[in-house]
Amino acid sequence: MNRRRRIYEGKAKILYEGPEPGTLVQHFKDDATAFNKKKHQIVDGKGVLNNRISEYIFSNLNDMGIPTHFIRRLNMREQLIREVEIIPLEVVVRNVAAGSLSERLGIDEGTPLPRSIIEFYYKNDELGDPMVSEEHITAFGWANPQEMDDIMSLAIRVNDFLCGLFLGVGIRLVDFKMECGRLYENDMVRIVVADEISPDSCRLWDMTSNEKLDKDRFRRDMGGLLEAYQEVARRLGLLNSNERVTGTGPVLVQ
Ligand code: UDP
């Protein structure tokens, strides 16, 4: 047995060298962190759920012709992905006011926005991921204007898809964060959706009760994080309705 080469370890995931050049293995951990790692907890089974939910979303995006880094899920905690050059931006798309937008602009949480709003944050833990504009991004060379057009059009397409997907299972997509990467293929380079899309990176509210089914349960000490992620997976048809996650993680359908 050889030890795999670890390329990168983040807050909730580890990237390992993949089986072929140009591929990586993305491993989902059970760590929940918030407020730039000031708050940290292990939630048994969270990585398994995020791996499965993110797989479901990314395979649908691929099938719709929205390019992503995702190739296939390998096991309960890992997926095979294409190696991309990550653009150091968090792209946030909002449909309903919540979180930092509500705080910054004094708009009540839950207020529907007149139209979807795209925001950019510079990925830098030391600076606490500051919000930046397209001007900063192109001036500092994090992405060029053509790439920004591609990123915004991807963000809108992903938002439309996710809104519809969640609407169909009684969930309101309040906002979400996505990341993009440059995929190099021969002498071509294109922008693809990367990282993960899961209840860790979305705000998901039950359509009728407004119950939070996302990481705000952890950020705001509400408890029931795993149960909420499980409910999202169950509604998407990824878990049997009567399954409960205990220490060892859920048993998955398929
Ligand atoms: N988000 C994320 N990672 C971050 C910051 C935000 O996945 O480092 C997601 C968050 O879950 C929410 C959306 O981006 O779905 C908007 O987050 P917001 O700017 O309101 O920040 P927060 O209130 O979470 O600090």
Dig out the tokens for 9 from the structure.
């370890």
Distance CA 98, CA 86 (A): 27
Strands 112-122 and 85-86: unpaired
Q: What percent of the chain has pLDDT over 90?
A: 92
Does one domain contain both 144 and 237? no
Which residues in the chain belong to E strands, given as ranges?
A: 6-9, 13-17, 23-28, 31-34, 39-42, 70-73, 78-82, 85-86, 89-96, 112-122, 131-132, 171-185, 188-194, 202-206
- The answer, yes or no, to whether any atom of ligand 1 lies below 6 A from the CB of 96, is no
217 is a domain residue: no
Q: What percent of the chain has pLDDT over 70?
A: 94
Mean pLDDT for the stretch of residues 50-79 = 98
Does one domain contain both 20 and 125? no
Does one domain contain both 129 and 200? yes
Distance from residue 4's CA to the centre of ligand 1 (Å): 31
Mean pLDDT for the stretch of residues 1-12 = 90
Does one domain contain both 78 and 106? no
Does one domain contain both 37 and 145? no
145 is a domain residue: yes
Q: How confident is the model at residue 254 (pLDDT cuts 50, 70, 90)?
A: low
Distance CA 195, CA 79 (A): 11
Which CATH number belongs to the domain containing residue 95 in this structure? 3.30.470.20
Does one domain contain both 131 and 172? yes
- The answer, yes or no, to whether any atom of ligand 1 lies below 6 A from the CB of 176, is yes
52 is a domain residue: yes
248 is a domain residue: yes
pLDDT at position 240: 77
Q: How confident is the model at residue 2 (pLDDT cuts 50, 70, 90)?
A: confident
- The answer, yes or no, to whether any atom of ligand 1 lies below 6 A from the CB of 109, is no
Q: 115 in the Ramachandran plot: left (φ > 0), alpha (ψ -120 to 50) or beta?
A: beta
Dig out the tokens for 75 from the structure.
């096991």
Does one domain contain both 92 and 66? no
Angle at 217 between CA 176 and CA 91, to 5 degrees: 15
213 is a domain residue: no
Tell me: the pLDDT tens digits for 169-220? 999 999 999 999 999 999 999 999 999 999 999 999 999 999 999 999 999 9
Q: How many domains does the chain have?
A: 2
Which CATH number belongs to the domain containing residue 23 in this structure? 3.30.200.20
Beta-carbon count within 10 A of 171 CB = 24
Does one domain contain both 64 and 175? no
178 is a domain residue: yes
Does one domain contain both 57 and 140? no
67 is a domain residue: yes
Does one domain contain both 156 and 177? yes
pLDDT at 247 over 50: no
Does one domain contain both 93 and 198? yes
Does one domain contain both 162 and 101? yes
156 with 116: CB under 8 angstroms? yes
From 175, 196, 229, mutation site for ligand 1 pocket: most ligand atoms within 8 A of C-beta: 175
Burial of 59 (0-12, 13-18, 19+ CB in 10 A): middle
Residue 196's nearest CA partner among 6, 8, 13, 22 is 13
7 with 86: CB under 8 angstroms? no
From 13, 39, 100, mutation site for ligand 1 pocket: most ligand atoms within 8 A of C-beta: 100
106 is a domain residue: yes
Residue 173's nearest CA partner among 103, 243, 94 is 94
Q: Domain span at residue 43? A: 6-84+223-252
